[in-house]
């Protein structure tokens, strides 16, 4: 719809008045004392909002029992609010009302509604001093907020009508919003789903993160593959955030630790920055509760700007301190190949932890007032660490409690991690492990950490000493070999000598070996003593030396770096540890942290991930939502996903199947239009839409997928037109995802996919029978478009594990949440028994999940077979590699990529992720997919049963379990 010229000079205002006709508020913005006529009603604004309410009561428009916040705005009042913001919260020139301006004004109008509930939620939590959970995450992959916010407020229809009156379509306006560049993958999307569920279920909680100026990167696909540029999501401002200039905290780096009187430590000198709070409201669905996501931005005091240097022409020196502070929040996951990159990452993590903990403690003190009692701190505060990135909140909490608040070590340690009669309510910090990949089990250089965070290293050493003592108390010193192995696996400090007190205790035998031997000889001596021979003397001396030896306990290797193991610190310093899928939690207990599990089994739990059904069905797939509501009898399923199970009894119903197919096709038409817009490729919406969208990583095996497509293409080329049509169901194979900027092999995979697509899509012999499309810059908004229209989704990660070598049977995908989103939307999965695939298959039924590949118990043997040179690749796999090497797809040299799949050992070789091993099983499973798709009645039934079986994978269920089992918090419904 064309935009209209617009002027809103008639809306000069300072106050809000409500027209309560039909219990709907119309927002009018009037000067004090003015009289304004609108909709045939007259209002006189006398003073402030309380006076307005009294006027309206006198006019009979509201009653004593009615409350202002019980009224819902109608489209007319919303249109007035949008007009007001376009004029008086200006970001654009006043003469036109184009789409970017319409979005900004609409978002600010929605924010007005959110602020009312947001402030009420905040005030009520303060008033009743409720126990609150605080979720710390380096990522929040929120996506666009407009449609989600008005959907949760139940104002979608009203906003659509209001914008229509103003000359725009709601969907067009919503598309103007950039995705918030605060995350990258499943870790960040999970955090955002959790916040949605926390608000919807009325749990008192806040999220904490960093406000990245440029995000991870914006991805372009060119003839050379992936190219990265900085995200520009903040270029036009963020209408959802409010800067809290009165909420800021100092954060320190470097410097030194000095001891004051009575042993009090003080961290002095170094580099000082300031973390400033930016707040984003997170509304619940059909509830007043609106919780907060607090994001930290970094700066320095104005006096750090060197005006003299600037005037002297040394501009770099003048603002170096400012840039050093600001760059902390420039990029999500800056490259860490260099020392500077590592330092910046560690600064990011500490900034998140320090600012958040200072804020949490300040809020606790304010709520406590004159009744401040640190012993009950864990009864009011629960801190959840989302993976190892926020690990430093453990030593930071202890530092603040000891150095700033004056508590003893014992008091601070018990607040952080305490074991008092097994009572969870006495503890504060908990840890979620998301993956067993090395990058998640972070290890930091002790040397770097000592320079950057000297006080925290002291505290970490104290925690390590506590842990070592606990291990010795648990296992004793009789079996020193066993003790040494326990310490090697469990210590926080890696390749670092034991504390002196502990080393002396272990090394000092209770009775010398010489004394013991002499005593034994005295007891065994016979009446007839004989003179020992020379050989007997020598043998006796060897026996004495052997019995007198004390095995060395973790002697540091000077050739290896000294490290701090963050995951071990999380387990030692936290009171609860959870995995994120049943299989993953078993791996955590039995392999990753087995020694800890044996010592502290009560710490370990499973919390299978979930996704919010609001964003991932209700709002992104309205056609399917209407069908679900119709056949389940109500919209209760949007919060109570157990209602989805009702669909199972209708899975064979022809009417439901017909409606289901029609909804899916409408979504596919939208996807086809989107692909044409983003890539230029034209695809047939009647073909199967086969989708793999996720972070590009070797273990996720996009390479297996594209090589399967190459095999499919080669076979097609060898057939006649009639044979092709008889053998293959038409497919559109869609990829999306970002390869980390310094991950060369992942970027090669992106290049390979795009080259295959460029060849296949322009092959007139193949036509619509096969298309390959890589969607650039995959994000939440792209997912919301693709997932409703997808029919087959690939979750084919490798079961091999890089951490535990040959003895491992672990999977590499901890959970995965995109698989849940696809299943919820009636998409059928093809995959391995990894992560949440295991539970999804159990719930949707084995016949409704395409399973292939090696199983976990086979992995050790397969990797050993490869190492011994006994692996014989399938001829079809060799055929595909040769075809790629022939140059049919590109003159680009794919030798490095293909070479990684060959050999028996070596970094970047030996097909570590079992692509070759699983290839035959994979392409044979794809034949079964084709067969099932040809029977649309069968396929539709499978689709319905996937949606019905996804009831378990709601983040609402996950949050209920966190609240009950870890945080010990109860819902708080606003009055």
Q: Which residue, among 857, 872, 855, has the nearest Cα to 911 in the 3D structure?
A: 872
Residue-level pLDDT at 243: 97
**Which residues on adjacent β-strands are paired with residue 429?**
383
- For the chain, give every domain's residue range: 613-953
Which pLDDT belongs to residue 24?
Answer: 35
Per-residue pLDDT at 208: 98
Distance from C-alpha of 453 to C-alpha of 90, rounded to nearest angstrom? 44
**In 3D, which of 5, 2, 171 has the Cα closest to residue 97?**
5
The 8 Å CB, 24+ separation contacts for 753-756 are: 753/702, 753/706, 754/221, 754/225, 755/889, 755/890, 755/892, 756/706, 756/709, 756/710, 756/713, 756/889
Asked if 840 and 825 count as a contact pair (C-beta separation under 8 A), the reply is no
Q: What pLDDT does residue 192 have? A: 98
Query: Is the separation of the CB atoms in 947 and 628 below 8 Å?
Result: yes
Q: Are the C-beta atoms of residues 813 and 791 closer than 8 Å to each other? A: no
Q: Report residue 167 as tokens.
A: 């000359």
C-beta neighbour count of 655 within 10 angstroms: 9
Global pTM reads 0.89
Check: CB of residue 294 under 8 Å from CB of residue 284: no
What are the mean pLDDT values of the chain's consecutive 10-residue runs (975 residues total)? Answer: 40 35 35 34 33 44 42 88 91 88 96 95 95 97 97 96 96 96 93 98 98 96 95 94 96 95 89 97 97 97 88 90 94 92 97 98 95 94 96 97 95 78 67 77 95 98 94 91 92 92 66 45 47 57 49 78 96 95 91 94 95 97 98 97 97 98 98 97 98 95 98 97 95 97 96 98 97 97 98 87 36 78 98 91 97 85 88 96 96 94 85 94 98 98 98 97 96 94
Distance CA 905, CA 125 (A): 58
Say if residues 206 and 280 touch (Cβ distance below 8 Å): no
Collapsing DSSP states into helix, strand and coil, what is residue 556?
A: coil
| Residues that are catalytic | 434, 694-695, 700, 817, 821
Widest distance between CA atoms in the chain: 129
Rounded to whole angstroms, how far apart are CA atoms 278 and 211? Answer: 8
Pick the CATH number of 613-953 from 1.10.3720.10, 3.40.50.2000, 3.40.50.80, 3.40.50.2300: 3.40.50.2000
The tally of CA atoms less than 13 A away on the side-chain side of residue 91 is: 18
> Pick from 317, 324, 280: which is nearest to 299 by CA?
324
pLDDT of residue 541: 54
Q: At what angle do helices 99-128 and 156-165 cross, to 10 degrees?
A: 150
744, two tokens:
């060369």
Distance (Å, rounded) from C-alpha 278 to C-alpha 195?
A: 16
What secondary structure letter does DSSP report for 727?
Answer: H
Backbone angles phi, psi at 445, to 5 degrees: -60, 130
Centre a 10 Å sphere on the Cβ of residue 164 and count the other Cβ atoms it contains.
14
809, 856 contact by CB (below 8 A):
yes
Are residues 36 and 126 in contact, defined by beta-carbon separation less than 8 angstroms?
no
Q: How far is Cα of residue 302 from the mean position of the Cα atoms in its chain?
A: 35
Name residue 732's beta-bridge partners: 689, 771
CA atoms of 545 and 539, how far apart (whole Å):
10
142, 193 Cβ separation under 8 angstroms: no
DSSP 6-23: ---GGG--SEEE---GGG
Decide if 496 contacts 565 (C-beta within 8 A): no
Closest CA to 853 of 802, 930, 904, 924: 924
Q: Give the whole-angstrom CA distance, residue 510 versus residue 513.
A: 9
- Which tokens belong to 463? 């925690």
Distance CA 392, CA 385 (A): 10
Strand, coil or helix: 774: strand
Identify the residue whose tokens are 């939307």.
825
For 563, phi then psi, to 5°, come to: -130, 155
> How far apart are alpha carbons 17 and 42 in whole angstroms?
11
């Amino acid at each position: 719809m064309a935009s209209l010229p617009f002027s809103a000079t008639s809306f000069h205002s300072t106050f809000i008045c409500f027209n309560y006709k039909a219990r709907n508020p119309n927002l009018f913005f009037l000067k004090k004392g003015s009289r304004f006529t609108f909709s045939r009603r007259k209002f006189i604004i006398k003073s402030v909002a309380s006076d307005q309410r009294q006027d309206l009561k006198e006019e009979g428009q509201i009653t004593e029992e009615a409350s202002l916040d019980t009224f819902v705005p109608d489209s007319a009042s919303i249109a007035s609010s949008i007009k007001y913001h376009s004029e008086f919260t200006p970001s654009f020139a006043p003469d036109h009302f184009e789409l970017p301006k319409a979005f900004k004004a609409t978002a600010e109008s929605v924010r007005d509604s959110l602020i009312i509930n947001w402030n009420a939620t905040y005030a009520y939590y303060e008033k009743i001093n409720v126990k609150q959970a605080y979720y710390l995450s380096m990522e929040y992959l929120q996506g666009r907020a407009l449609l989600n916010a008005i959907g949760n407020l139940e104002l979608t229809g009203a906003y659509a009508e209001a914008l229509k009156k103003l000359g725009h379509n709601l969907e067009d306006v919503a598309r103007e919003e950039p995705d918030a560049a605060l995350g990258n993958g499943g870790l960040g999307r999970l955090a955002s789903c959790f916040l949605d569920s926390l608000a919807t279920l009325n749990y008192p909680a806040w999220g904490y993160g960093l406000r990245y100026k440029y995000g991870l990167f914006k991805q372009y696909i060119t003839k050379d593959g992936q190219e990265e540029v900085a995200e520009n999501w903040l270029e036009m401002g963020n209408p959802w955030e409010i800067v809290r200039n009165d909420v800021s905290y100092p954060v320190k780096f470097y410097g030194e630790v000095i001891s004051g009187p009575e042993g009090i430590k003080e961290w002095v000198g170094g580099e000082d920055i300031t973390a400033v709070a930016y707040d984003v409201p997170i509304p619940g669905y059909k509830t007043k509760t609106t919780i907060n996501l607090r994001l930290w931005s970094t700066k320095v005091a104005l006096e750090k700007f060197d005006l003299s240097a600037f005037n002297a022409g040394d501009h770099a020196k003048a603002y170096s301190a400012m840039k050093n502070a600001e760059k902390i929040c420039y990029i999500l996951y800056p490259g860490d190949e260099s020392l500077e990159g590592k330092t910046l990452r560690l600064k990011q993590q500490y900034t998140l932890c320090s600012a958040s903990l200072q804020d949490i403690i300040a809020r606790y003190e304010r709520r406590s007032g004159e009744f401040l009692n640190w012993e009950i701190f864990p009864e009011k505060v629960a801190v959840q660490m989302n993976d190892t990135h926020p690990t430093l909140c453990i030593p930071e909490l202890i530092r603040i409690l000891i150095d700033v608040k004056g508590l003893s070590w014992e008091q601070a340690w018990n607040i952080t991690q305490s074991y008092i009669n097994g009572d969870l309510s006495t503890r504060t910090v908990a840890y979620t492990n998301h993956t067993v990949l090395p990058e998640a089990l972070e290890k930091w250089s002790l040397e770097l950490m000592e320079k950057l965070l000297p006080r925290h290293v002291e505290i970490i050493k104290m925690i390590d000493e506590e842990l070592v003592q606990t291990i010795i108390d648990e296992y004793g010193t009789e079996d020193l070999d066993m003790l040494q192995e326990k310490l090697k696996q469990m210590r926080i400090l890696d390749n670092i000598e034991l504390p002196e007190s502990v080393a002396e205790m272990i090394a000092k035998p209770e009775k010398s070996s010489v004394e013991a031997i002499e005593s034994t000889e005295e007891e065994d001596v016979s009446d007839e003593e004989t003179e020992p021979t020379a050989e007997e003397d020598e043998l006796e001396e060897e026996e004495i030396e052997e019995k007198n030896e004390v095995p060395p306990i973790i002697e540091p290797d000077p050739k290896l770096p000294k490290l701090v193991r963050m995951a071990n610190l999380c387990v030692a310093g936290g009171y609860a540890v959870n995995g994120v899928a049943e299989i993953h939690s078993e791996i955590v207990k039995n392999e990753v942290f087995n020694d800890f599990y044996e010592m502290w089994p009560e710490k370990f739990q499973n919390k299978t991930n979930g996704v919010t059904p609001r964003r991932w069905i209700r709002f992104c797939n309205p056609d399917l939502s209407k069908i679900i509501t119709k056949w389940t009898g109500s919209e209760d399923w949007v919060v109570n996903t157990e209602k989805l199970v009702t669909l199972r009894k209708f899975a064979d119903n022809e009417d439901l199947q017909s409606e289901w197919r029609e909804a899916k096709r409408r979504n596919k038409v939208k996807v086809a239009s989107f692909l044409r817009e983003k890539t230029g490729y034209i695809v047939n919406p009647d073909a199967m839409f086969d989708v793999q969208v996720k972070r590009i990583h070797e273990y996720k095996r996009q390479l297996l997928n594209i090589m399967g497509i190459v095999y499919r293409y080669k076979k097609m080329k060898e057939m006649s037109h009639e044979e092709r049509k008889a053998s293959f169901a038409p497919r559109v194979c869609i990829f999306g995802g970002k390869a980390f900027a310094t991950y060369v092999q992942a970027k090669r995979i992106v290049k390979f996919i795009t080259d295959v697509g460029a060849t296949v899509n322009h092959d007139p012999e193949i036509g619509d029978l096969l298309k390959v499309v890589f969607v650039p810059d995959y994000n939440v908004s792209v997912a919301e478009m693709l997932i409703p229209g997808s029919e087959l989704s690939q979750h084919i990660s490798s079961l091999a594990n890089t951490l535990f070598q040959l003895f491992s049977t672990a999977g590499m995908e901890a959970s995965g949440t995109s698989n849940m989103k696809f299943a919820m939307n009636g998409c059928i999965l093809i995959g391995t028994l990894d992560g949440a695939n295991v539970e999804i298959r159990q719930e949707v039924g084995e016949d409704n999940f395409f399973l292939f590949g090696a199983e976990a118990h086979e992995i050790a043997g397969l990797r050993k077979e490869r190492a011994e040179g006994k692996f014989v690749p399938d001829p079809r796999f060799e055929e595909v590699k040769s075809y790629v090497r022939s140059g049919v797809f590109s003159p680009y040299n794919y030798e490095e990529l293909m070479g990684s799949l060959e050999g028996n050992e070596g970094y970047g070789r030996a097909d570590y992720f079992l692509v070759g091993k699983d290839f035959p099983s994979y392409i044979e499973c794809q034949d079964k997919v084709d067969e099932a798709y040809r029977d649309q009645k069968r396929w539709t039934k499978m689709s319905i049963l996937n949606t019905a079986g996804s009831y378990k994978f709601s983040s609402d269920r996950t949050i209920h379990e966190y609240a009950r089992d870890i945080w010990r918090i109860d819902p708080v419904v606003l009055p």
